[in-house]
Structure 1
Amino acid sequence: MSSIAVLVELLRRDTSGGHVKCWEHFARSAARLPDGTGLDLTVYFLGDRERVEPLAPHVRFVMLRPVLSTAAMRSADGAEDVCDLAPYHPRLAALLPRHDVWHLTHSFAFAATAVRLGRRAARRGAPRPRLVGSVHTDVPLLASVYARYLADRWLPGSHPRVDGLLADEAETLLRRRRDRLLDSCEHVLAPTPEGCAELARVLGPHRIALLRRGIDHDLFRPDRTARARLAREYGLPADRPLVLFAGRLDATKGAPLLAESVRLLRARGTAAHLVVAGSGAEAEAVRRSLGPDVTLLGPLPQDRLARVYAGCDIFAFPSRTETIGNVVAEAMACGLAVVLPEGAHTTRWLTAPGGDGIVVRHDDPRDWADALGALIDRPALREAVRRRAAATARNTHRSWDRVLEEDLLPVWTRRSPGAGRERVPGPARPGHGRGRSG
C-alpha cells in the first residue's frame, strides 16, 4: 500500500477557497475507492487545533496548528487565506516519515519542511522520499496585489511608486522561492497547458504533467426552484436578471471592473442586480458604488453556494489571475450564462466561446457592460447560452473521481528509481496510523 501525504498549508473551513476545496473533493473521491486499491491518503491542512477527521479507513484529513500564522496580517474583512510562514513545522516533520509520497501544493511552511527533510535524507545517504508538487494558485502574483494593500494599511500616504516596488519585489522573491521548492520534486502538476509550459521552461518538460479540475455534478446542477428560495432567503429582486460574482472581492478578481460595469448598466436604464458571494478588500467600495443594486452575501459553504448559482441568471467573472477557476465550471453546471475575459485560463471551460459562454475582449467597464447588457436585454440569447453551458458541463467537464483516476493516481503510484525503500519509522500517534481511520 502506498501512503500519500498531501500538504495543503491553508486553514480549512466551510468557506475556504478553491485550493482547499480541490483537495477536499479529491480526498472524498479517494474515499470512494475500494480498500484494496493500495492507496492510503492523508491530507494535511492548518487548523486551530490538531485533530484527525477520518473519511474512510484509508483516507483522512489531519489539521495541524500553524507555527507562524498569517492571520494577523489579513485585511479587515479577513477574506485572505490563512497560511503558515514558518521556515519549518516540527509537528509535520515528525509525521511525514511514515508516508511514501510527499505532495507539495503550496510554497510555505509545509512545503519547506518536506523539502528540508528530503535534502537531509539525501545528505545522509538515506533513501529519499518521493516528492511531487502541484500548482493551484499564482501565489507570487497574489502577493504582489496584497503587498499594495498592506502598504496602504501599514504605510498610509506612501508614494505609489514605493508601493509598486514592494509589490514587484514580493512577486519576484516568491516566484523564485516557489520554483526552488518545486525543483526538489520528481513530478510537478499544473492545471492548464500554459501552466505546464511555464514550469517546463524552469524545471524541464520531462517532469511536468497536467492536473485538471473536476466538478461535482450532483451538487452543482440546474434547479428551477432555486430562484424563489433566493428571493425568500435573501430578499433578492424577482423582477430583474441576477448577475452573480463568486470569489474574493479584490483587484485580482476584477471586482472593481465588474462593479463599474453594473453601475454603467443601471445608468443606461438596464434592469440588473449584482449578487456577490464572497468578501474582500473591495467589498465596501462595491456596496457604495451600487447601493440597492447589489446584494453581498459574504462567503458561503459549497451547498449554499450551489443554490445561489442555480437561482441566478448570469455569472460574471473578470479575473485574469485564476490558474483554472473552478467557480466557472460550477456556474456552468448550474446552467448560468458565463461572461469571462478573453484569453483568461477560465475560458478553457468553454467548448464554443460565444455559444456556451461569452468572452469580453478588453478589461474595460464599457465592454463588460455591453456584454452583460446583451444577455439581459435579449432573454432568448441568454437562455440559449444557459442551455449550451449546462450541456457543455454535463458532457465534457470531468468528475473529481475521473480526474483522480486519470491525473493523480498515476503520479502517486509511479515507481521511481528509489522506490521499494524501507520507510523511515515515524513516531507513534494514537488514532493516526497507516490504514487507520483515526
Structure 2
Amino acid sequence: MDHSYEWYSAPVTSVAVLVELMRSGTSGGHVKCWERFAESAARLPHTAPELDLTVYYLGTQERVEALSPHVRLVMLRPVLGSGALTSARGAEDVTDLAPYHPRLAALLPRHDVWHLTHGFAYAATAVRLARRTARRGGPAPRLVASVHTDVPALAAVYARYLAARRLPAAAEPLARGAERRLRRRRDRLLNACERVLAPTPAGCAELVPVLGAHRVALLRRGIDHTRFHPDPAARTELTRAHGIPADRPLILFAGRLDASKGLPLLADSVRLLRAGGLPVHLVLAGAGTEAEPVRRSLAPDVTLLGPLPQDRLARVYAGCDLFAFPSRTETCGNAVAEAMASGLPVLLPAGARTTRWLTAPGEDGVIVPVDTPHAWAAALSTLLTDPARLTGMGRRAAATARETHPSWDRVLREDLLPLWVREERWGRGLGSER
C-alpha cells in the first residue's frame, strides 16, 4: 500500500478518471469497472503509449493505493456524502452531493486528461475548474466522459422510496421531477466534454441528439475470463457454505435488490412457479430495499447472500443453474456477461440493453417478451423443466462469452487509450491480445 502521491516522472499523458462512488470490496459494477481498467493499465508493456493513470474514488479516509509506478487508485473523503439519504441499508451507492470538492480541485491540475464518469461532486468540480482555467488563459485540460449508469432513471426509483416514508401521494410527481432535473444536469456536464463514451450502440444513439455524432463513441465492458468460468465443483461448495437445497434448480439474481433492477417482478414469477408445483430456489447476491419483502414472501425458497466480493461471487455464479435479470435500467449489465462466462443461461427483458451480450437469442440466452410475472414464470419453467436444453444453453452461453466478449485489457487498448493518448503517441506496440 502506497500512501504517498508519487506520479510517474517520464514524459507521459496523465489521465485522471473521476469515479465519485465509495470504493469497497463489495462495490457495484461502476466501481469494479474502473478497478479492472486500472489493473489492465498496470499490465501495459513498456512499448505501450506513455500513460500515467489515476482513478479517483470516494473513501472513508484519504489514501493512495499504487498498482504500478504509473497506475494508482486515490480515495478522497466526500464533502457532502449521500449516505444519510439512502432509503435502506445497501439500497443506493454513496456519492458526494457537494457542488465542489476542494481537495480534488487541488489535485486535478497534475493531469492532462480529466475523465468524468458520474454527475455529482467530482464531475461538477472538473467542469467548473476547467472553465475557470480557460477564462484565465491557463493550459486547458482535455475533458472526456463515459456513461456507466442511468442515474436519472435510478433517481426516480429512489425518489419514490424516499417519498413513500412521509409523502406517498407525492411520490410519482417527485420521481418524475427528479429524473427530469438529473437528465438536464447530466447533459450539461457531458456537453462540456470533447468526447463522450457510451457502453452500447443504443446508448450512443441516445447521446447523439445532445452532443452530435462526432463527439460520441463506444466504450465496451470487459470480462475477466480467469475469474468467471464454469466449474462443476462450485455447486457443492455453495450448498455446503449456505445451506442451499441441492435437490432443486437454483435461479440466481445478482445486483441491487430493488425495483430499479426488476426484483419484485422476478420474486412474483418465482412465487408462481412454486404455486404451480415446480421446486425452484431463488439465490440473491446483493443488498437493497426489497431484500426483506422478498425474504418474507418467498421463505424458505430464497437465500440472501448479501453483497459479495468478486471472487466469492464468481463461485456463486458457477454454482447456480440459471441467471434471471429483469432490469431495464442497465447501461450495460456486466452481471450478464459474468453469468454467461460462468456457463449460465440468462433470461433478459425484451428491449433491454443487456440483450446485446447475446449473439443467438434462444440458444445462448432467453429474451422474455413482456414484463409480467406470468411471462417470466413461463420462460423460467420452459428451461427448468427441460434439463437437456438448460445444459445446452449454458454451454452455448459460455462459448459466446469466450468467443465474443472482450477482455478488459483489449477494451483498454482499443477503446480508452485512443481517447486518452494523443495520436502522435499512438500506434506503438501494445503487446499480444489478451
Deviates more, 1:255-264 or 1:123-132: 123-132
Find the counterpart in structure 2 of residue 19 from structure 1. Answer: 30
5 Å-filtered alignment, 1:394-433, equals 394-414=402-422
Check the 8 A contact 1:29/1:404 in 2, yes or no: yes
CA distances 1:27-57 after superposition (whole Å, capped 9, x unpaired): 0000001245300000000000000000000
So what's the TM-score if we normalise by structure 2? 0.94
Matched with 1:294 is: 302
Do structure 1's residue 143 and structure 2's residue 169 form an aligned pair? no
CA offset at residue 342 of structure 1?
1.1
3-state SS, counterpart of residue 299 of structure 2: helix
Map 1:180-329 onto structure 2 (within 5 A): 180-329=188-337
The residue aligned with 2:131 is 119
In structure 1, the partner of 2:71 is 59
Asked whether the 8 Å contact 1:12–1:20 carries over to 2, the reply is yes
Q: Distance in 2 between matches of 1:118 and 1:333?
A: 41
Secondary structure of 2:93's counterpart equals: coil
Q: Is the 8 A contact 2:79 2:98 kept in 1?
A: yes
Counterpart Cα distance in 2 of 1:90 and 1:4: 19
Partner in structure 2 of residue 46 of structure 1: 58
2:116 to 104, 119, 134: 104
Instruction: Report the equivalent of 1:424.
Output: none
Unaligned regions of 5+ residues in structure 2, if any?
1-11, 426-434
CA distance in 2, matches of 1:53, 1:127: 28
CA deviation map 1:346-377 (0-9, x unaligned)? 00000000000011000000010001011111
State the partner residue of 2:39.
Answer: 28
The 8 Å contact of residues 35 and 58 in structure 1, kept in 2 or not, is answered as: no
- Asked if the contact 1:26/1:400 (under 8 Å) is kept, the reply is yes
- Partner deviation per Cα, 1:175-194 (whole Å, 9 max, x = no partner): 00011011110000000111
Aligned counterpart, 2:183: 175
CA positional deviation for 1:408: 0.3
**Matched residue type, 1:26:** F
Report the alpha carbon displacement of residue 124 of structure 1 after superposing the two structures with TM.
Answer: 1.1
Contact residue 51 and residue 63 of structure 1 kept, 8 A: yes
1:330 maps to which residue? 338
1: CA distance, partners of 2:62 / 2:137: 32
**1:76 offset after TM fit, Å?**
2.8
CA root-mean-square deviation: 1.1
In the alignment, what sits opposite 1:130? Answer: 142
Quick one: distance in 2 between partners of 1:107 and 1:248?
20
Report the 3-state secondary structure (helix = DSSP H, G, I; strand = E; otherwise coil) of the residue aligned with 2:284. strand
Q: Encode CA deviations 1:158-187: one digit per residue, 9 max, x unaligned.
A: 31xx21111111001100001101111000
Distance 2:147 2:46 in 1: 28
Q: Distance in 2 between matches of 1:177 and 1:324?
A: 21
2:390 corresponding residue in structure 1? 382
CA distance in 1, matches of 2:74, 2:141: 20
CA distance in structure 2 between the partners assigned to 1:35 and 1:120 by the alignment: 36
| Alignment correspondent of 2:9 | none
Distance 2:178 2:103 in 1: 28
**Partner Cα separation in structure 1 for residue 23 and residue 46 of structure 2:** 26
CA contact (8 A) 1:140 1:170 kept: yes
Give the residue type in structure 1 aligned to 2:26: T
Q: CA contact under 8 A between 1:310 and 1:335: conserved in structure 2?
A: yes
Q: Distance in 2 between matches of 1:36 and 1:395?
A: 27
**DSSP 3-state at the match of 1:292:** coil
Asked if residue 163 in structure 1 is aligned to residue 171 in structure 2, the reply is: yes
SS at match of 2:300: helix
The alignment covers a number of residue pairs equal to 413
Distance, in Å, in 1 between the alignment partners of 2:317 and 2:90 is 23
* Counterpart Cα distance in 2 of 1:217 and 1:358: 22
4+ residue segments displaced more than 3 Å: none
Instruction: Describe the superposition over 1:219-258 as per-residue Cα deviations: whole angstroms up to 9, x where unpaired.
Output: 0000010000001100111100100000111111000000
Q: Which runs of 5+ in 1 are unaligned?
A: 420-438
Question: Paired residue for 1:433?
Answer: none
- TM-score of the pair, normalised by structure 1: 0.93
Give the C-alpha shift of residue 415 in structure 1. 5.5
